[in-house]
Structure 1
Amino acid sequence: MTRNSFNQNLATMKLKLICFVIIFEFCSSAKIPSNFIKCDRKKPDFKKCAPGAVEQAMRQMDKPTKELGIPSLSPLVIPSLSIAGGEGSVKLDQNYKNVHIYGLTNLSCSKLNVDFENKIIENECLYPEIRMVSDYNLNGKILVLDIMGEGKGTITLEKVRIPVKYDLEEYEKNGKKHFRVTNIDLKMIPERVRFDFENLFNGDKKLSEHVLNVINENWREVYDDAKASYEDAFGQITKDIFNKVLSKVSISDMFGDE
């Protein structure tokens, strides 16, 4: 299911993303931590420097970033995520609680472009593995198979390419100019997705193994049914984290003076 068709059928699909909360220590302003790479927009190597700076900064966020008031992103924890079934061959209601997301700080970035005039940032990074571990509840159909169960579940996305476009607006705070993300367009393009759900069919081992084989053999259809929901959820997470950073670090502190 494409993003456009997903948006057009939003009412039918009844997507529900239960709000997640990330706790931050708030401070009025801050500078980029001294161990982060800083790239000056006036220097000729800015475009070459910027992707590495993002990669290096994210890798260091496997621990709390006290200067910016950001907790560890390894793992990132969100309370819950609910995805209603689609209209195709996969009609599966998916409910996840106590979601732990691993792998966000292990990445390699190939692109980061900043259009200061039009206030747009575009970047693309590759994540070897993003793993979501949660308490799950599934109910619905995949192809002709009825699916039901609840327990511990793991969804693993392998070699995930994530291009992101940020639309920004500029505002002034404490006499300095800051950016704020107003819209985000994030795609998640994995080479493979693996699903592992314990206790399907109330622990019927034989039936569970058969159904899990079907799910993993048809992983693309299963993932595509929920792809827009995952992208929206990860987009909101990314937007929220980036805005917390941007609210504390001015444009000139982050990118150098104009």
Structure 2
Amino acid sequence: MAARHLLPLALLCAAAKAAIWMPLPSYITPCSRNDPDVSGCALKSGRAAMKDFINGDRQYRIPSLNPLRIDKLAVDEGSGPLGLAFTANNGTVYGLADTSIDEVRIDLKNQHVEYDLTMPRLELLCIYNVSGKVLLLPIVGNGPGNITLIGVKIRYIYDFGFESRTRNGETKSFAIPKNSKLEYNVTRAYIHLDNLFNGDKLLGETTNRVLNENWQDLAKEVGPTIAEAIGEVMRQILQNIFDVVSYEDAFPDKV
């Protein structure tokens, strides 16, 4: 299986320590930390806020995700049936607007959170560069590319710690997401790469057909890198919110 690397996302700046405190965004309903079903409350709140998350919120440094623009994704050449060194530049991901939150599991005591998400269709348009092999046959090319993933299931998991901050004599706790990981599955993948072999039509059509016939190997090599990009966006969004919204405001004693 190919090694995967996620390169920096242009639209998301690194989360910085915020000197300002802000209330929870108005479109997010707080959940009491004492609610015996805090996970159910968070699921309901997250579903209601999804549209606002997708559209972005500059005040909380949440970028628009409809579409999501990514500077660069890269996959190193692997040793599997599709041994591809693949780079996607100037990528645009469509389909996040249809994301649904299937389940939320929050364990405040152990500072652990899990989100289960479904994305019916994700489409990445990019300028690609590829080299390597497909079933022992060489492949090379660069130009416009399209990778479409159907039935994407993502489980985003992270732990969090706390940082205390004091302002005007008042001390509050701010959550710091850490140890995040992402589990990924897809039911189908499609790919089309223009200008393979310097525009050789016959070789290009044949190679695209072989890639699509071996979509499961394609999904294993390229799909996780796209999913990791989305996971990094989620991590940045959470970090940006938790930089300015205290734990006490997000999970008050009472609501």
Normalising TM by the smaller chain, what interval? 0.7 to 0.9
SS across alignment from 2:98: coil
| TM-score, structure 2 as length reference | 0.87
Q: Structure 1 residue aligned with 2:220, among 214, 217, 224?
A: 224
Q: Which residue of 2 aligns with 1:109?
A: 101
Could you tell me how far 1:231 is from its partner in structure 2? 4.4
Tell me if structure 1 keeps the 8 A contact 2:82–2:133. yes
1:255–1:90 Cα change, 3 Å: same
2:178 aligned with 1:182:
yes
The amino acid across from 2:177 in the alignment is V
Tell me if structure 1 keeps the 8 A contact 2:186–2:219. no
Q: Which residue of 2 aligns with 1:10?
A: none
2:185 aligned with 1:196:
no
* Larger relative strand fraction: 2
Q: Structure 1 residue aligned with 2:67, among 75, 78, 83?
A: 75
Q: Structure 1 residue aligned with 2:161, among 169, 175, 179?
A: 169
| TM-score, structure 1 as length reference | 0.86
Shifted more, 87-96 versus 97-106: the winner is 97-106
Could you tell me how far 1:228 is from its partner in structure 2? 4.7
2:244 aligned with 1:244:
no
The amino acid across from 2:130 in the alignment is L
Could you tell me how far 1:236 is from its partner in structure 2? 2.6
Could you tell me how far 1:159 is from its partner in structure 2? 1.2
2 CA distance for matches of 1:45 and 1:232?
29
Q: Which residue of 1 aligns with 2:44?
A: 52
2 CA distance for matches of 1:247 and 1:129?
31
Tell me if structure 2 keeps the 8 A contact 1:59–1:106. no
SS across alignment from 1:206: helix
Identity of aligned residues (%): 30
Q: Which residue of 2 aligns with 1:142?
A: 134
Could you tell me how far 1:247 is from its partner in structure 2? 0.9
2:208 aligned with 1:212:
yes
2 CA distance for matches of 1:43 and 1:159?
33
Aligned pair count? 247
The amino acid across from 1:208 in the alignment is G
2 CA distance for matches of 1:189 and 1:61?
23
Q: Structure 1 residue aligned with 2:27, among 22, 25, 35?
A: 35
Q: Which residue of 2 aligns with 1:22?
A: 11
The amino acid across from 2:229 in the alignment is A
2:117 aligned with 1:125:
yes
1:154–1:56 Cα change, 3 Å: farther
SS across alignment from 2:205: helix
2 CA distance for matches of 1:226 and 1:69?
28
Residue deviations 1:114-151 (CA, integer Å, cap 9, x gap): 11111100110111112211110011111122211111
Residue deviations 1:146-193 (CA, integer Å, cap 9, x gap): 211111111111111111111111111342111111111101211111
2 CA distance for matches of 1:78 and 1:228?
15
1:69–1:182 Cα change, 3 Å: same
Tell me if structure 2 keeps the 8 A contact 1:31–1:67. no
Tell me if structure 1 keeps the 8 A contact 2:12–2:236. no
Tell me if structure 1 keeps the 8 A contact 2:101–2:117. yes
2 CA distance for matches of 1:146 and 1:67?
49
| Root mean square deviation of aligned Cα | 2.2
